Amino acid sequence: MEWNKSIIAWGMLLVLCMSCSKEQGVLPEDTVKWETRKVAVVLPMQNGLDVHWKRTLNQCADDLKQAFAMQQRGIALEYEWYDEDSEDLEQLADELSKRKDIVAVIGGYHSDNARTLASRFCRSQVKKTFFTLATTEELVRGFSSAGCLWAMNETDIAQCEVLLVKAHSYGAKSVGLIADGGTLYGKTFVEWFAFQAKEMGLDVKGIYDYAHSSIEEEAARAMASEADYLICAPNDVEGIRKIQEAMYKQAFIGVPPPRCLYSNIAYGADVIKLLGAQANGLEGVYVGSDPESGFDIRYEVTYGEQTTNGEAQVYDAAMMVGYGCYLQLLYTHEYNRQVTLSEALRILVDGRGDQQHAWSTKGMSDFVAELTRGKQPDLRGVSGMLDFDKKVYTNVLSSVYHNYMVYDGRYIILDYNASNSSARTSEALAGWNWKNNRMQEFGDSTSIGPAYPALHEKWALLVAGSSGWNNYRHQADVYYMYQLLRSNGYDDGHIVLIAEDDIAYNKNNPNQGVVSVYAGGVDVYEDLTIDYHPSELMPEDVKAILCGEKNERLPHVISADEDDNVFFFWSGHGISEHLMWLNDRKGFSRELAHETFTSMHEKRCYRKLLCLVETCYSGSVFDVVEGLPGILAITAANANETSKADVYNCDLEVWMSNRFTLTFLECIAENPAIAMRELYYRLFNNTVGSHVTVFNDAHYGNLYTNTMREFLE
């Protein structure tokens, strides 16, 4: 409490100092050669939010004018305002992309809107500098390679972690999540929640994803889950209302509901206005200003209101535009060198000077003075140090999370959680790397496994379970796997390939007839033989193919016996206990998998069977191989987790591969005889966001001495 009082006192002093500084040490405005730079602002403007954005951005423009007042040249920012909730964002983004007078765009409060904007601004022929408040990891990871996206927060990977840490600190033993996995915002939470909970030793009572059901239904289930805490990440204020109503109903029948912790969606100037009395008691976290900056205090003293979610980050984005444009001027006039705004921004955030200038009018003036002298001072904004990932310069690596609660119609800040980039998910590449510590162990490396007959033939079944351009990666990975097998001695007659074959000549493919797993990569579609399309088959046909049950409709099957090895690879979508079959959510089920592998064992359809599965929740299907001799299953995710796409192509607007599969293919390219234990180790450490899981090693053999050479030669 004493610390908070000192911050308030310091902040009040800061406000006075900033106002006083305007009265002294400033040259007449006509001595500065001002150059105007126009910024488009695309943010929600309804329910009074427009007032907040305009206050803050105009204040930043005024502060920058003060900062440049002692220089020969200065940057004057002007804004164009657009409501992201009412504009045709695709059309607007196309128009802004073509306008040379718009140097940058600040916007994308909602993740799906931010993705629409980024998909236009990040194209190779556009590269419009774009600052966003959206925090979904897929947006950041997907567009990081473009070099023009600047995310002003850590991703929601970190926010989900902070919420779980908060629950853990309150004594939680079990947790649940409610979110809409059908939106980019909810998807990050759905995909990372179980992984992070497992890392913290928390019991997951359920992920209540209302993408394919109603929020009322899932909220009721979540409240009855007996979880200690429920992490809530709905899409909007109406979603908050429905979760709160479900909580009240649960309490009314005398059964204590979980304690709810909300994401940043429940913090904002519009939330209390729209929810009224239902807002009381809301608790959660949001990314705010650095409390030591005094930004929130100055705002409240000046305007008599609290800041809204994202206001600090909007200020910092505009400040960076002003500094970046000034650097462009310096490079042009002082160094006779032209740099783009994104290049200037990278120079700006790379600064590691001896001095750190606090955010204030004087601090900003000192910062500009050092830039003018050719120095590279540390960049500090109202949200703290503006450190960005040094590989892709995409998102801030350190944010300050405010733990809020609504009391008597007002947000009360309970405490702060400043991230530590040396130990958190934001360590590298836009929050994408994570240090895992839940690796499986497989016994003594000297143990002797079961005896097998001599190997005769090798067979493979490759399945791409999805279709459509947006699922490009599944077919691309299966085609790549096909090429790998062919290059390692497989005859085409011993490979059964199931794929819909609708991406190579898709109308969206600028390289007709070409499929790759990364931009400019080899064509994995060349000389390919596809045996079946999923639309022509049923999931039960997979069992028939693996069991060698040939008929008129299935002429090409796996004709293996007890002397042959079988390699089974599946790439596609999955839900709990099911691998999806095209759009059928209940495709290759856990029950069908049990029937399939049991039948294969009874009919002696394999010597060794290796299953490699790249789908979400794949561990919930392939755990059925436990106890069956000679079968080893390696899944990209455990029973509660999603798997992650990889290698986003901004021009094609698709993910080109999956991290699990790409890691496997890279391992095999390096060493086709890699030991199964080493393969698992590599897959586990490189498949981020899910726990690669091995099933049935006890009935397969020593993973230290069994290698991939038995399946590749």
Reduce the secondary structure of 400-426 to three states and give it as a string. EEEEEEEECCEEEEEEEEECCCCCCHH
Higher pLDDT, 24 or 691: 691
Closest alpha carbon to 426 in 170, 160, 200: 160
Q: How far apart are CA 152 and CA 138, in angstroms?
A: 15
501-512, pLDDT tens digit by residue? 999 999 999 999
Domain covering 2-155+291-318+387-401, topology: Rossmann fold (3.40.50)
Burial of 514 (0-12, 13-18, 19+ CB in 10 A): middle
| CA-to-CA separations, 644 to 286, 472, 633, 691, 696, in angstroms, rounded | 25, 14, 19, 11, 24
For 366, 462, 669, the CA distances from 672, given in Å and listed in that order, are 58, 18, 6
- Which among 327, 323, 319 has a CA at the least distance from the CA of 289? 319
Q: Rounded mean pLDDT of the chain?
A: 88
> Each residue of 345-383: pLDDT tens digit?
999 988 766 555 667 888 899 999 999 998 888 888 999
Identify the pLDDT of residue 15. Answer: 45
**Would the pLDDT of 523 be above 70?**
yes
Q: In this model, does residue 443 exceed pLDDT 60?
A: yes
| Cα distance between residue 328 and residue 343, in whole Å | 9
Q: Where are the chain's structural domains?
A: 2-155+291-318+387-401, 156-282+405-427, 458-710
Least confident span in 195-204, 373-382, 436-445, 636-645? 436-445
Q: Report, as an integer, the average pLDDT of 100-118.
A: 95
Selection from 477, 499, 708, 459 nearest residue 605 by Cα: 459
Q: State how far the Cα of 496 lies from the Cα of 531, in Å rounded to an integer.
A: 6
Q: Kindly indicate the confidence band of residue 687, based on its pLDDT and cuts at 50, 70 and 90.
A: confident
Q: State residue 507's pLDDT score.
A: 96
What is the structure's pLDDT at 136? 82
The Cα-based distances of 569 to 361, 455, 611 in angstroms read 60, 20, 6
Q: What is the helix (H) or strand (E) element at residue 359, kind and residue range?
A: none
Q: How far apart are CA 436 and CA 174, in angstroms?
A: 20
What does the pLDDT look like over 141-186, one tens digit per residue?
888 888 899 999 888 888 999 999 999 989 999 999 999 999 989 9
Please report which residue ranges of 578-675 form alpha helices under DSSP H.
590-602, 619-622, 659-670
Q: What mean pLDDT is predicted for residues 110-118?
A: 93
How many CA atoms are closer than 13 Å to the CA of 228, on its beta-carbon side?
Answer: 15
Q: How far apart are the first and last CA of the chain?
A: 68
- Examine the pLDDT at 568 and tell me if it is beyond 50: yes
CA distance 245 to 223: 10
- The predicted pLDDT at position 140 comes to 82
Q: Tell me, what's the pLDDT at 277?
A: 87
pLDDT band at 659 (very low <50, low <70, confident <90, very high): confident
Residue 664's pLDDT is: 92
- As its CATH architecture, domain 458-710 has 3-Layer(aba) Sandwich (3.40)
Q: Is 276 exposed, middle or buried (0-12, 13-18, 19+ CB in 10 A)?
A: exposed
pLDDT for res 650: 85
Helix axes 361-372 and 2-21, enclosed angle (nearest 10): 60
Q: What is the pLDDT of residues 377-408, one digit of tens each?
A: 888 899 988 888 777 777 788 889 999 999 98
With a cut of 70, say whether residue 2 has pLDDT above it: no
How far apart (Å, rounded) are the C-alpha atoms in residues 324 and 356?
18
From CA 119, how far away is CA 369, in angstroms rounded? 37
Query: How sure is the predictor about 648, in pLDDT bands with cuts at 50, 70 and 90?
Result: confident
What's residue 492's pLDDT?
A: 93
Predicted confidence at residue 445, as pLDDT, reads 58
pLDDT surpassing 60 at residue 434: no
> 118, 108 in Cβ contact below 8 A?
yes
Is a pLDDT exceeding 70 seen at residue 686? yes
Report d(CA 272, CA 412) in Å as an integer: 13
pLDDT greater than 80 at residue 486: yes
450 pLDDT band, cuts 50/70/90, is confident
pLDDT for 88: 97
Reported as type and span, the H/E element at residue 242 is helix 237-252
Q: Which amino acid is at 65?
A: K
CATH topology match: 2-155+291-318+387-401 vs 458-710: yes
CATH of region 156-282+405-427, choose from 3.40.50.720, 3.40.50.300, 3.40.50.150, 3.40.50.2300: 3.40.50.2300
In the prediction, which pLDDT does 684 show?
A: 86
Q: Is the pLDDT of residue 565 over 90?
A: yes
Angle at 429 between CA 110 and CA 163, to 5 degrees: 55
Q: What is the pTM of this model?
A: 0.75
Most confident of 128-137, 552-561, 690-699: 552-561
| CA 188/CA 115 separation, integer angstroms | 14
Pairing of the two strands 631-635 and 645-649: unpaired
Tokens of 255: 């059964």
pLDDT at 51 over 60: yes
- The tally of CA atoms less than 13 A away on the side-chain side of residue 349 is 27
* Alpha helices, DSSP H, located in 468-552: 472-487, 539-546
